[in-house]
Amino acid sequence: MDIAHPSDARTEPFAAGEAVVLRSVNTYGRHGRAVGFAVAGRVLVDDDELAVVASPVGSAMRRRAGAGSGPNGRLILPEHWDGSYVDDTWSGAPVVRVHQKGSPWSVWRWHDGTAWMPHWYMNLELPWARTATGFDTQDWTLDVIAGTDRDGTWSVRYKDEDELAYYAGTGHWPESMRAIIERAGKEASSVALARTFPFDVDWSQWIPDAAWPVPELPAKWDQLE
């Protein structure tokens, strides 16, 4: 496990439309520090306050290969990973990720080409750090889902609590880290309930440009600095 908050390896912001890779980095047993998941995207905003990245359908992805375990059968423990990756692509609908610099989460929304889809997703994670090819983070398993129910009520709930408990039970996340993750979950839930930034801003400024080519991963997407 590696929970050190990295600093930006690249100080120059990425330009709008530039292809980047978002990577979740952690320590995986005998494999050491490595990329656990990577997805290509295109930058919409990158400045001192925000990083906004869109992954259209077809964006290149890589995820660790190995036997799945846990409550959903999709968690790969370090000892079950052989060091290889599954080639994949982003499917469903284009996703836009908004990360306020320094926050232990990013807020995701999906745009179907006509309108924003109804639910918001808060991915709990290590604050993003700019790299030579994109942004590195560390996924923390637990997530927050927000949206308007059929009766018009705004609701907020956790997602993957069972997976967090499983990882904690196996020692992948020790109790000290679990406490950090759960505290971030409470803070994220408070933001969602209050509908403060970025729930209170006009997301039309972040609609992906449909004319941009689908991004690929850079040649050295799995190399760490």
pLDDT of residue 11: 86
Which of 93, 120, 126 minimizes the C-alpha distance to 201? 120
CB 139 within 8 A of CB 123: yes
Nearest to 166 by CA among 137, 183, 142: 142
Q: For residue range 112-130, list pLDDT tens digits in order.
A: 989 999 999 999 999 999 9
Question: What pTM was estimated for this model as a whole?
Answer: 0.94
Show the low-confidence residues of the chain (pLDDT under 50): 1
pLDDT for 4: 56
**195: nearest Cα among 159, 160, 153:** 153
pLDDT at 75: 86
Supply 197's token pair: 């930034």
pLDDT at 7: 80
pLDDT of residue 214: 96
- Looking at beta carbons, which pairs linking 208-212 to residues 24 or more positions away fall under 8 Å? 208/42, 208/44, 208/54, 208/56, 208/94, 208/96, 208/111, 209/17, 209/42, 210/56, 210/113, 212/17, 212/42, 212/56
**CA angle, residues 94, 99, 103, in degrees to nearest 5:** 145
Q: Is-cis flag, bond preceding 198, omega within 30?
A: yes
SS3 label, residue 75: strand
Quote the tokens at residue 30. Answer: 């005998």
The correct answer on CATH 2.40.380.10 for the domain covering 19-203 is: yes
